[in-house]
Structure 1
Amino acid sequence: MLLSKVDITTILRYNSLVMREPILRMLQQKEHVSGETLAHSLGISRTAVWKHVNILRRMGYEINSSPHFGYSFIKSPDLLFPDEINCGLSTSFMGKRILYSTEVTSTQDVAGKAARRGEEEGTIAIAEKQSRGRGRKGRHWISPIHSGIYLSVILRPSLRPDRALQLPLIAGVAVIRAIKATTKIVPTLKWPNDIMVNGKKAGGILAEISSDTDEIHYIVLGIGLNVNVLKSHFPSPLQETVTSLMDISGHHVSRVRLVRCLLSELESIYLEFLTSGFDSIRKEWLSSNNTINSEIKAVSGPETIEGKAIDIDKDGFLLVKEPNGHITKIISGDVLPPTKKQERIP
């Protein structure tokens, strides 16, 4: 049985937990490791080894023991523990500091507080469950425990505040790359921030910015993905419009592996954006999108524009050609199916 919220938080704070990682690494390197070998290598007693192994078992790690052969590692739980993510993580700064929680209101809240107290760029907040996860415009994001990726990263780019509007598009490309690399699924991007699979929503991106007129203090970039979420977790009205990677692939998807890959792709594309700008990333976004060349209804505040989505410009804004030929730039808003039959727009 996995630990409760209180137990896991307490265990993660124990100073003695510095032993957990070396014990795991030693067990993963050999088929069998005796308690005596572990105790000698770590400078602790065999009783202490036994206690640490039992804690690991309660955290979800499968570890067998035998009087003759010692301990043998079977498998890790698909829990987003910092040690599990960092093992094999190849980034230079993205995800090197991880604020892990079993449950939070929202990882955006956690990362926002961390950013305000000065946490460094690349720090991430990640949780197994959100009680009040949110998307754009404060919409509720359904976040069942141990099923999705709920992650927020602190960014501190030296950019004009208006360029921050491109970050959700950039992050979308990173998510697409990561999903393709770790599964056989080929998602698409819906402007401005949705991750789609087979026409259904599988994820979303949220950027919350703290800035002055000409300076960004920090950005909290949130990514939510339905990874192993069961269809029954969604309210009935949403079950025909949302999906999960497990639902599409037909099997469990490793969240840890996907997070590692996502952080790597996010760091790579973020650095590319800072050094080379948006143009090449814009081309990749266009090659992966399902919005351009579609008849749409764009709702931006009180304004509704219907027409054909024809492009995104150099700033990432959506260009819509109306039936009268006028091209309107949509800076932010929702893209929906058209509500009426329109004459064909060439």
Structure 2
Amino acid sequence: MRDAVLNMLLDNLGNFVSGEDISRQLGITRAAVWKYIRLLQNQGYVIESSTKKGYCLRQVPDILDEALLFRGLNTSLLGKNVEIYSSIGSTNARAKELALNGAPEGTVVIADEQVQGRGRLGRSWVSPSGKGIWMSVILRPHLFPQQVPKITIVTAVAVANALKRSAQIEVGIKWPNDIVCGGKKLCGILTEVHAEPEVIHYAVVGIGLNVNLSLEDFPEDIKDLATSLRIEKGKEFHRVDIIKAILQEMEKGYLQKLNDDGFAELLEEYERRSVILGRRVRVIGVGGEFSGYAEGFGEDGSLMLRLDDGRLERILAGDVSIRGERGYV
């Protein structure tokens, strides 16, 4: 009922709705309407009250509210089942737990804060409360395990397109899983799978996007490497709007372009957004470090690297990191 009251106010954003109309349409008392209005105000919604006019929603807060998320989401798979937490260890860890217990494909886990956020190669991920998008999506793709990098490519392109739509910002993709802006990391993608040699039981795609972080929110050791939408655009954003755009773009890529016919087109877009193609990069792995020129990407998500001796080396994402010759990119 709280969501129903909120949706009536959202339908009339900036205009008054009488308490009598809300009461009649929802079949509740005027006293109950007032109770839900007070609840919404306590949650940060700016609602003006007038004895004669009723209630007017003046401002929507930046909170992770299911009612806001479902409003206008318009997806058929992703986001139909959602868990939202004020604080959690890791959204990926929770999503894997849900997937193992049979959660439907498209289930999304979102947190206002992660206290044990993780990136690739076991690195920690700074996930402060109320400042970013920390979410994980459960997928059950019809792919072979060796094709898992396709999911990361789909997600990276989806995030880039979603940010162009919802934040009016152009971003690049740094192989294998980073979204960058201004030469700094804006978003990371972590894809984890539970699979057997011939089948994927589930994949969990974690997305960590720095939205409203300021420079002071980043630890000293990554201040020169990381950025946020707020830093790049000079304003704050409503995270729910960006989450909806990401889920919509991700579903489009997942359902329409993950197959063999559509993936070539998706890979072309991934290449167009690449910030390393045609550039000399360093590959850092457990076996050491070497350099070469990034020439392209394979359909398996591999990087084709031209070494100094002329050989073309196929690099799998696995346990490697990529750096520019002089820094992060």
- Alignment match, 2:195: 211
Say whether residues 1:269 and 2:253 are aligned partners: yes
- Alignment match, 2:286: 301
Say whether residues 1:335 and 2:322 are aligned partners: yes
Q: Is the 8 A contact 1:148 1:229 kept in 2?
A: yes
Q: Is the 8 A contact 1:197 1:243 kept in 2?
A: yes
Looking at structure 1, the residues matched to 165 and 290 of structure 2 have their Cα atoms a distance apart, in angstroms, of 36
Q: Secondary structure at the residue paired with 2:216? A: helix
Say whether residues 1:108 and 2:95 are aligned partners: no
Q: Is the 8 A contact 1:98 1:123 kept in 2?
A: yes
Q: Deviations over 1:97-155 (max 9, x none)?
A: 11111111111011111111111111100011101111101211101111101110000
- How many Å apart are 1:255 and its aligned residue? 1.2
- Alignment match, 1:23: 5
- How many Å apart are 1:277 and its aligned residue? 4.7
Amino acid at match of 1:243: T
Which piece of structure 1 moves more, 107-116 or 196-205? 107-116
Q: Secondary structure at the residue paired with 1:173? A: helix
Amino acid at match of 2:67: D
- Alignment match, 2:28: 44
- Alignment match, 1:12: none
- Alignment match, 1:344: none
Q: Which runs of 5+ in 1 are unaligned?
A: 1-18, 341-346
Distance 1:117 1:309, change over 3 A: same
Pairing 1:155-304 to 2, within 5 Å after superposition: 155-275=139-259, 276-304=261-289
Distance 1:169 1:213, change over 3 A: same
Q: Is the 8 A contact 2:154 2:258 kept in 1?
A: no
Q: Secondary structure at the residue paired with 1:192? A: coil
Q: Is the 8 A contact 1:297 1:339 kept in 2?
A: no
Q: Is the 8 A contact 2:294 2:303 kept in 1?
A: yes
Looking at structure 2, the residues matched to 221 and 171 of structure 1 have their Cα atoms a distance apart, in angstroms, of 8
Which piece of structure 1 moves more, 117-126 or 66-75? 66-75
Which piece of structure 1 moves more, 74-83 or 96-105? 74-83
Q: Is the 8 A contact 2:150 2:299 kept in 1?
A: no
- How many Å apart are 1:70 and its aligned residue? 1.3
Looking at structure 1, the residues matched to 44 and 102 of structure 2 have their Cα atoms a distance apart, in angstroms, of 33
Runs of 4 or more, structure 1, over 3 Å off, are none
Q: Deviations over 1:37-79 (max 9, x none)?
A: 2222222222211111111111111111111211111122111
TM-score, normalised to structure 1, is 0.90
- Number of aligned positions between the proteins: 322
RMSD over aligned Cα, in angstroms? 1.4
- How many Å apart are 1:274 and its aligned residue? 3.3
Looking at structure 1, the residues matched to 95 and 158 of structure 2 have their Cα atoms a distance apart, in angstroms, of 20
Q: Is the 8 A contact 1:179 1:186 kept in 2?
A: yes
Q: Is the 8 A contact 1:300 1:330 kept in 2?
A: no
